[in-house]
Amino acid sequence: MKYSLFLGCTIPARSRNYELSARAIASRLDLEFVEIEDFSCCGFPLEASDEMGAILLGAMNLCLAEEKGLDICVLCSACASMLTKTAYHLDHDQKLREQTNKELAKIGKEYKGTVKVKHFARILLEDVTLERIKKETKQNLKGLRVATHYGCHYLKPAYIYEGFDDPQDAQTLELILETVGVSNIQYRRKKDCCGGPVLLSDEEVALKVAEEKLRNVKEAGADCMNLVCPFCSLMFDANQKGIETKSGDEFDIPVLYLPQIIGLAMGFSRKELGLNLNSVSTKELESVLEA
Amino acid sequence: MRTFSLRDLDSDFVDEIESLDFIGTFRDCYACGTCTGGCPVHRVNNDYDPLRIMRMLVLGLREELLKGEMIWLCSDCYTCQENCPMEVKITDIINHLKNLATHEDNTPLGVSTQKKLLMDQGKIYIIDEFDNKKRAKAGLPSLPEMAEEARKLLNKR
Amino acid sequence: MNENIRVGVFVCDCGSNIAGIVNVPEVVEYTKGLKHVAFADEGKWSCSVDYLAKMKELIKENDLNRVVIASCTPRTHEPLFKRTVKEAGVNPYLLEFVSIREQVSWVHRADPSKATEKVKDLVRMGVAKAVLLEEGEEIRLSVKTDCLVIGGGMAGMTAALNIADQGFHAILVEKESRLGGLLNRLSVVCHDHVKLEAAEIVKAKVALVESHQNIKVYTNAEIEAVEGYIGNYKVTLKANGSNETFDASTVIVATGMQEIEPVGQFQYGSDPRVVTQVQLEGLLRGDEVGQVKDVVIVNCVNSKNESRGCCTIGCSVSVKNALALKMLNKDIRVDILYRDLSMVREEGSDLETAKRAGVKFIRFPDDRYPEVTKEDGNLGVRVYDILLGKEFTLPSDLVVLTTGFKGDDTCEAIKGHLKVSTNPDGFFQEAHIKLGPLDFPSDGISLCGCARSPKNLKDSCEEGAGAAMRASIPMKRGYLEAEGIVADIDLDVCNSCGLCAKNCPYGAIKWEDEKPNVIKALCKGCGLCAADCPKNAISIIHYSDEQILAQVDAALEERPEEKIIGFVCHWCALGGVDMAGVSRLQYPTNARLIRVMCSARVAIKFIERAFELGAAGVLVAGCEFPTCHYITGNYAAEERIKRAKKRLARKGYDPEKLWNVWCSAADGPKFANTMRDMVKELGLE
């Protein structure tokens, strides 16, 4: 299994814990990543102000993978949706494709539509398979109560994802966690957004949306949260302290990336998984697991 | 309360939005309110209301929509769009409205800053020497400072 | 009483439903000791095929000539047991039904011994009545095959055609000069994505009607009089200036409806640019809309408010006409101001088409109707959009009001001729919205189309066909069988005061040669006449004074001071009693209920007798207002109770011990609460 790895902007700069843990478990699972130097921003941040610019960036990244003849593995859900959406529109709208290729020609590129974009979690499920993950599991995480946050762009808009998972009743991330033995716990308004994208226009609203979710997770008695997007992590992990200060409530919920949890089950060290880089301390969690 | 006269409304606006292939029709909206009912932003801030955005659009309240702040509160989470019984692409529409608002110079600072960053760097965060050192220490491959190709692409338009 | 009375009593266990609480063997033993009881038996499931067969054998073996069945409720099982005794050779009118499940075991679960005592009382009362029962028979009226159809609109024409196609004769009476009704004033009708010119539809239907040899059409005709009853109507018409009389066996009412003109509202009447939907249809039909640019349609004018319900067709009419305007000229701006859009089936696709054609829909709140304004001669409509929270002023050169409807002007006269009722909205009132939607309470008269409530063309035609079917049933059979529970007047005792003829809700008592004559076909057996007859000259078959008084006497034989005598009407009140049972609502055991067909049957003398014998209280229970199975029986009962209280007071009884309750057949809690309250107030706890 060989994929080009699309990191996007945020992960290499701000979420090395995600990158570290993903690379760690990938190597264990025979999932080979190829680096492409020219990968840029996916285009997502331009969607609201320059939709054509966003499509162009998305298309250029797709072209880079096409040149190498490799499908793309994406860690960030926003990047995954932007690249998938770009491919979807370029494949369905001939006019848009011509227009795009005209611009791409200026840097000597052409979109052909030969690569597939997949989120890292989707690759674990569809290519690596659950049996394989189970086989590599060294420590069963039985008793660990995990609240999964699917986030939005991992599954939505549904029309670009060809029926992968169901936004009304998402299952995939919990299926993966199940194989390493954790208890998936349910909580109120599980489908709600993290609030991230509003951060740029109204910080107060964005933090309030995240606060609601943290409260619901806390109420359900979770040991930690599980997610697959650096924006969601920013809202729940990095901003948790600030939300606590503002609301006066204490949440103290460790927020882990999916590969960090899987990595624990596979026996990787704290440092190998970048757990030391998480904002909310995961120490207590790890000691529970060790016991 | 301000009284609007429908004579001033822009009925071409409706046709303009609907003519976009990726949006399709939204006139099927029967104002059930499912969009607003599921909206996580509406829950914390009543001022934001996707149904009202759809109504303003159907009636052609162009100015109100594009000069106001409402559309910028959308978190792009697609809940409304996935829930809509008439399959109106609400989130995609709002996204397009944000683009139109940008043409009218109504863009939040955060959004326009990011656009500028991308025009200049091709990515939001520069990976400088310090970053690459840290990456190397953690065993991660080094990355270029900027995305040159992307920068070229955006600026050649 | 010459015959040798032999009463057989069958007490049912209903599995453990009854036997689980009531000591049935003890009741059976007790019953055997009652006078005239020749036989008594306990049945585990009396309504089972096996037991019914056994019952027939037992009736024959023991030579029984009266049967008392003590089991569930007559409302569900009386027809079955009637049939059984008939098959055993006993006249079905010699059966008495005693309800001991709904009235005892289900509602007195905490006190089996008191429940058993109550059952003994009820069986004793049943036997007392059974002894006095007399043979009866169903009344048979011959019905011929002429049907009078009043109203030549689409519903009436459809009814007439369906009558005529079966080989019967239809006499179709239309007040206007041509057939077609409301459709003559409409432009297009749309159904199943197909639009048709109203004129074309009328033309096709009229051709069928006029060429049918079994239909006789009168236009420009008015009904002068209708007298008689099913199988025997005499109709007088005034057509083209002269009177004509003919016979009819059945009647179908299809008189249609009209718009309520909103005079004085929304500038209607003062500005010709403000019109109703039907007026707009006229403009569209005649191609007279002219050069309009901005049309505003206001829905729910004079409907869906405190005084009238939803008109049910306004939404689809407004959308249909908005589309018609758009088709005339796509640049016409059309706005529909609405409160709620209720559109079903194929109408929904019209809504979609209208939205796509650019018709704008603005929802206004119930308590903030749009206003029509006029400035410098320019019309405008000010409306508050509830979904946006904004107010708009819509310029307009044509305002169309979607107004509510009422029954046709001729309703009042027809109502008088046929002795049927209308509802507060001015439409004819059917017998029952679900159980008799196309019937009037009187046999032989049905109704359909917009005479009943506003409808679209499709529903009107369907109802026309339905009403034709209802009218055809007795015509096909050739006779109508009516229950033999009717009034019987002893003319030797009668002093010709005329009260009975005046009060009969069905007009069933005719005044002939200074004497009352009961038309059995019209009499429904409510007993209102008998209860009020000053000479006690009227008897109701199966509910005679003697029979009811015997039940009162039997109920109060022992410990009358603990007992409440309840007279309950068979329809709603007994339904309420049964519902209390089905719901297992527990209440005290004091009541001894006596069934009457209508609360109007309860004569003051019955109440007096109960108090004379020392009853703790008396309850009269009837249908909830304004409904009554016998049109107005409960109103008569209410009046009579007031009089009874005065009389009781004069005689030294406490009038506060006479209670009444008006309860719907679904209102078990109301009956149970009344029993609890009575027991408490009367100090019987």
C491-540 tens-digit pLDDT: 999 999 999 999 998 889 999 889 999 998 889 999 999 999 999 999 99
Q: Do B4 and C362 touch (CB under 8 A)?
A: no
Q: Which residue has the higher pLDDT, C327 or C119?
A: C119
Coil vs helix vs strand at C317: helix
B51 in C contact zone (CB under 8 Å)? yes
Q: Determine which helix (DSSP H) or strand (DSSP E) holds C50, and give its type and residue range.
A: helix C49-61
Residues 6+ apart with CB under 8 A from A135: none
Coil vs helix vs strand at C135: coil
Of C356, C388, C391, the CB nearest to B52: C388
For the entire predicted model, the pTM comes to 0.74
Q: Give the gap in angstroms from C-alpha A152 to the nearest C-alpha of chain B.
A: 5
Separation CA C78–CA C93 (nearest Å): 11
pLDDT score recorded for residue B97: 95
Of C358, C362, C388, the CB nearest to B56: C388
Do B129 and B87 fall into the same domain? no
Separation CA C312–CA C77 (nearest Å): 39
Average pLDDT over residues C230-257: 94
pLDDT > 50? residue C294 = yes
pLDDT score recorded for residue C317: 94
pLDDT score recorded for residue B1: 42
- For residue C543 the two structure tokens come to 């509910």
Q: In chain B, whose CA is at the least distance from the CA of C350?
A: B28
Within 10 angstroms of residue C532's Cβ, the number of other Cβ atoms is: 19
Q: How many domains does chain B have?
A: 2
Structural domain contains residue B47: yes
Q: Give the gap in angstroms from C-alpha B104 to the nearest C-alpha of chain A.
A: 11
Structural domain contains residue B3: no
pLDDT score recorded for residue C370: 97
pLDDT digits (tens, 9 = 90+) for B64-107: 899 999 999 999 999 999 999 999 999 999 999 999 999 999 99
Do B143 and B99 fall into the same domain? no
Q: Cβ distance C250 to C470 under 8 Å? A: no
Q: Determine which helix (DSSP H) or strand (DSSP E) holds A104, and give its type and residue range.
A: helix A94-105
Which chain A residues are within 8 Å of B69, Cβ to Cβ?
201
C224 in B contact zone (CB under 8 Å)? no
Structural domain contains residue B51: yes
The two beta strands, B3-5 and C390-396, are parallel
Do B98 and B139 fall into the same domain? no
- For residue C107 the two structure tokens come to 């509602």
Q: Cβ distance C538 to C487 under 8 Å? A: yes
Interface test with B, best of C331, C356, C368, C390 (most B CBs within 10 A): C390
Which chain B residues are within 8 Å of C356, Cβ to Cβ?
25, 27
Structural domain contains residue B144: yes
Do B13 and B80 fall into the same domain? yes
Q: Do B140 and A16 touch (CB under 8 A)?
A: yes
Question: What distance lies between CA B135 and its chain's CA centroid?
Answer: 34
Average pLDDT over residues C477-495: 91
Q: Do B111 and A200 touch (CB under 8 A)?
A: yes
Q: What residues 371-410 of chain C have any CB closer than 8 A to a CB of chain B? A: 382, 385, 387-395
**Numbered ranges of CATH 3.40.50.11810 in chain A:** 137-290
Separation CA B14–CA A19 (nearest Å): 45
- Of C103, C96, C104, the C-alpha closest to C127 is C96
Q: Do C387 and B31 touch (CB under 8 A)?
A: yes
Q: Return the amino acid letter for C34.
A: L
Separation CA A131–CA C158 (nearest Å): 71
Q: Cβ distance C442 to C448 under 8 Å? A: no
Average pLDDT over residues A187-193: 95
Q: In chain A, whose CA is at the least distance from the CA of B21?
A: A93
Average pLDDT over residues C624-628: 80
Average pLDDT over residues C297-301: 98
Strands (E), A111-202: 117-119, 145-148, 183-184
Which chain B residues are within 8 Å of C391, Cβ to Cβ?
1-4
Structural domain contains residue B130: yes
Question: What distance lies between CA C25 and its chain's CA centroid?
Answer: 42
**Numbered ranges of CATH 1.20.1050.140 in chain A:** 2-119
Do B22 and B99 fall into the same domain? yes
Average pLDDT over residues C238-264: 95
- Of C226, C227, C251, the C-alpha closest to C150 is C251
Q: Do B6 and C395 touch (CB under 8 A)?
A: yes
Separation CA C301–CA C303 (nearest Å): 6
C331 in B contact zone (CB under 8 Å)? no
C305 in B contact zone (CB under 8 Å)? no
Average pLDDT over residues C293-317: 93
Q: Do A47 and B77 touch (CB under 8 A)?
A: no
pLDDT tier at C137, thresholds 50, 70, 90: confident
Which chain B residues are within 8 Å of C395, Cβ to Cβ?
5-7
Chains B and C touch (3+ CB pairs under 8 A): yes
Return the CA Rg of chain A.
19
Q: Give the gap in angstroms from C-alpha B15 to the nearest C-alpha of chain C.
A: 9
pLDDT > 70? residue A61 = yes
Do B67 and B40 fall into the same domain? yes
Do B17 and B47 fall into the same domain? yes
Of A107, A193, A200, the CB nearest to B153: A107
pLDDT digits (tens, 9 = 90+) for C158-173: 999 999 999 999 999 9
Do B24 and B91 fall into the same domain? yes
pLDDT > 50? residue C187 = yes
Of A41, A47, A89, the CB nearest to B122: A41
pLDDT tier at A200, thresholds 50, 70, 90: confident
pLDDT tier at A230, thresholds 50, 70, 90: very high
Which chain B residues are within 8 Å of A167, Cβ to Cβ?
78, 82
- For residue C33 the two structure tokens come to 């000791």
pLDDT tier at A227, thresholds 50, 70, 90: very high
Do B97 and B51 fall into the same domain? yes
Q: Cβ distance B79 to A191 under 8 Å? A: yes
DSSP letter at B91 equals H
Do B71 and B145 fall into the same domain? no
- The CATH number given to whatever domain includes residue B37 is 1.10.1060.10
Of the candidate ranges B106-115, C338-347, C410-419, C437-446, the one whose mean pLDDT is the lowest: C338-347
Question: What HEC string does C432-473 produce?
Answer: ECCCECCECCCCCEEECHHHCCCCCHHHHHHHHHHHHHHHHH
- Of C682, C566, C614, C632, the C-alpha closest to C99 is C566
The CATH number given to A137-290 is 3.40.50.11810
pLDDT tier at B3, thresholds 50, 70, 90: low
DSSP letter at A126 equals I
Structural domain contains residue B84: yes
Report all structural domains of chain C as residue ranges with CATH numbers, in order of start: 1-137 (3.40.50), 146-258+407-479 (3.50.50.60), 266-403 (3.50.50.60), 485-518 (no CATH), 543-685 (3.40.50)
Chains B and A touch (3+ CB pairs under 8 A): yes
Separation CA C397–CA C401 (nearest Å): 13
Which chain B residues are within 8 Å of A95, Cβ to Cβ?
21
Q: Do B27 and C335 touch (CB under 8 A)?
A: no
Separation CA C313–CA C347 (nearest Å): 10
Q: In chain B, whose CA is at the least distance from the CA of C395?
A: B7
CA-based end-to-end distance of chain A: 36
φ/ψ of residue C308, rounded to 5: -140, 155
Using a pLDDT cut of 90, give the percent of chain C over it: 82
Which chain B residues are within 8 Å of C360, Cβ to Cβ?
6, 58-59
The CATH number, out of the four listed (1.20.1730.10, 1.20.1050.140, 3.30.450.40, 3.40.50.10700), of the domain defined by the range A2-119: 1.20.1050.140
φ/ψ of residue C290, rounded to 5: 80, -165
Chains that touch C (3 or more CB pairs under 8 A): B
Of A12, A49, A156, the CB nearest to B98: A49
Q: Do A49 and B144 touch (CB under 8 A)?
A: no
pLDDT digits (tens, 9 = 90+) for A134-169: 999 999 999 899 999 999 999 999 999 999 999 999
Structural domain contains residue B1: no
Q: What is the residue whose two structure tokens read 């003697």?
A: C546
User: CA dihedral defined by A105, A110, A111, A117, rounded to 10 degrees?
Assistant: -100
Q: A52 vs C46, C329, C372, C584, CA distance in Å?
A: 82, 38, 47, 70
Structural domain contains residue B62: yes
Which chain A residues are within 8 Å of B124, Cβ to Cβ?
9-10, 13, 41, 45
Do B95 and B54 fall into the same domain? yes
Average pLDDT over residues B29-37: 92
Which chain C residues are within 8 Å of B61, Cβ to Cβ?
388
Q: What is the residue whose two structure tokens read 């990595």?
A: A263
pLDDT > 80? residue C473 = yes
pLDDT > 60? residue B4 = no
pLDDT digits (tens, 9 = 90+) for C607-623: 999 999 999 999 999 99
Q: Determine which helix (DSSP H) or strand (DSSP E) holds C131, and give its type and residue range.
A: helix C112-132
Q: Cβ distance C46 to C69 under 8 Å? A: yes
Q: Do B4 and C392 touch (CB under 8 A)?
A: yes
pLDDT digits (tens, 9 = 90+) for C643-652: 999 999 999 9
Question: What HEC string does C423-434 produce?
Answer: CCCCCECCCECC
Do B127 and B51 fall into the same domain? no
Chains C and A touch (3+ CB pairs under 8 A): no
Of C355, C362, C390, the CB nearest to B27: C355
pLDDT score recorded for residue C431: 80
Which chain C residues are within 8 Å of B2, Cβ to Cβ?
390-391
Residues 6+ apart with CB under 8 A from C619: C564, C565, C566, C567, C568, C591, C659, C660, C661, C674, C678
Using a pLDDT cut of 90, give the percent of chain A over it: 94
**Could you tell me the residue range of the domain that residue B21 belongs to?**
8-103
- Average pLDDT over all residues of chain B: 90
Separation CA C466–CA C439 (nearest Å): 10
Q: How many CB pairs (< 8 A) connect A and B?
A: 185
Q: What residues 27-46 of chain B have any CB closer than 8 A to a CB of chain C? A: 27-28, 30-31
Q: Do A57 and B150 touch (CB under 8 A)?
A: yes
Q: Do B115 and A196 touch (CB under 8 A)?
A: no
Separation CA C23–CA C116 (nearest Å): 6
B7 in C contact zone (CB under 8 Å)? yes
B156 in C contact zone (CB under 8 Å)? no
Which chain A residues are within 8 Å of B81, Cβ to Cβ?
156-157
pLDDT digits (tens, 9 = 90+) for C527-571: 999 999 999 999 999 999 999 999 999 999 999 999 999 999 998
Q: C459 vs A233, C193, C313, C445, CA distance in Å?
A: 60, 16, 11, 19
Q: In chain A, whose CA is at the least distance from the CA of B76?
A: A197
Which chain B residues are within 8 Å of C387, Cβ to Cβ?
31, 51-52, 55
